[in-house]
Amino acid sequence: MKIVFMGTPDFAVSALRRLAEKHEIVCVYTQAPKEAGRGKKLTKSPVQIFAEENKLLVRTPKTLRSTEAQAEFAALKADVAVVAAYGLILPKPILEAFPMGCINIHASLLPRWRGAAPIQRAVEAGDSSAGITIMKMDEGLDTGDMLLKGEVEITKETTGGSLHDALAEIGAELIVQYLDNPESFPPQKQDDSLTCYAAKIDKTESKIDFSLPAETLERKIRAFNPYPAMYFEYNGERFKVFKAESLAQSAPAGKILEGEKNLIIACRQGALKVLEIQRQGKKAMPIDELLRGMTFEGSLA
């Protein structure tokens, strides 16, 4: 089968790798290199790096809305486009360019989470499971017909990072399974009444707000691990928190209940016991390692 692959981050690389083993990848579309790091050096996407290493044709248009870009896309004469976290809007001429259209590897059990950050939002919301939906794309936001699903449990140990990695592999497996025999997976309409919007993560969300319940913060810490990582500030220094647990202790929100052998901070409901932390300029470490050289006292409110 001739495939155009459209994706950008690490999440998409697993699917591209598997598809390239079985099918002809006629072109890879990915977002253009972006400035990154202190030096603002142009950095290629993980998908572009993989594609170039494997001598695949790569295109990085800034938009697909121009007639020129759409004609160039259609001229590839592929059977299908496979999309995985591409990051650009696909207009109708793109969606309809190939016989099988555009098939999306979406990182949620649709219609539960539509939008940019379904993995993190599922963990943050306390969902018991997450998954992948292989879907036929239309002009809406993740509103197309569902074709195939794969599910994974969310536990108290699940982080945004671990769920991301698990779903990337599930997505790669499912897209290959679907393309092997698409007739076996008839499209199913979504129930719009069951959907939630998975808003893109804003860095301002990552500051720990101790006026929230401890259970809510524990989930947010797991959801935003490893990126953008939740943090608090103490004596003008930023501390990232990668693991914590909620306790039933009660005190004014932000009060440091323990800060020598353990770090426990009161929340609006309950308290947060920090288990893994990162000091500015240092590596992440268990909290007991940090507390060998410093103590916390007072309030973080």
Convert the pLDDT of each residue in 243-279 to its tens digit. Answer: 999 999 989 999 999 999 999 999 999 999 999 999 9
pLDDT digits (tens, 9 = 90+) for 40-93: 789 999 999 999 999 999 999 999 999 999 999 999 999 999 999 999 999 999
User: For the purposes of burial, counting CB atoms within 10 Å of the CB of 100, is it exposed (0-12), middle (13-18) or buried (19 or more)?
Assistant: middle
pLDDT digits (tens, 9 = 90+) for 170-220: 999 999 999 999 999 999 999 999 999 999 999 899 999 999 999 999 999
How does DSSP classify residue 207?
Answer: B
**Structure-token pair, residue 132:** 């992948």
Q: Which amino acid is at 104?
A: N
pLDDT confidence of residue 161: 98
pLDDT confidence of residue 38: 75
Average pLDDT, the chain: 97
pTM (2 decimals)? 0.95
pLDDT confidence of residue 35: 83
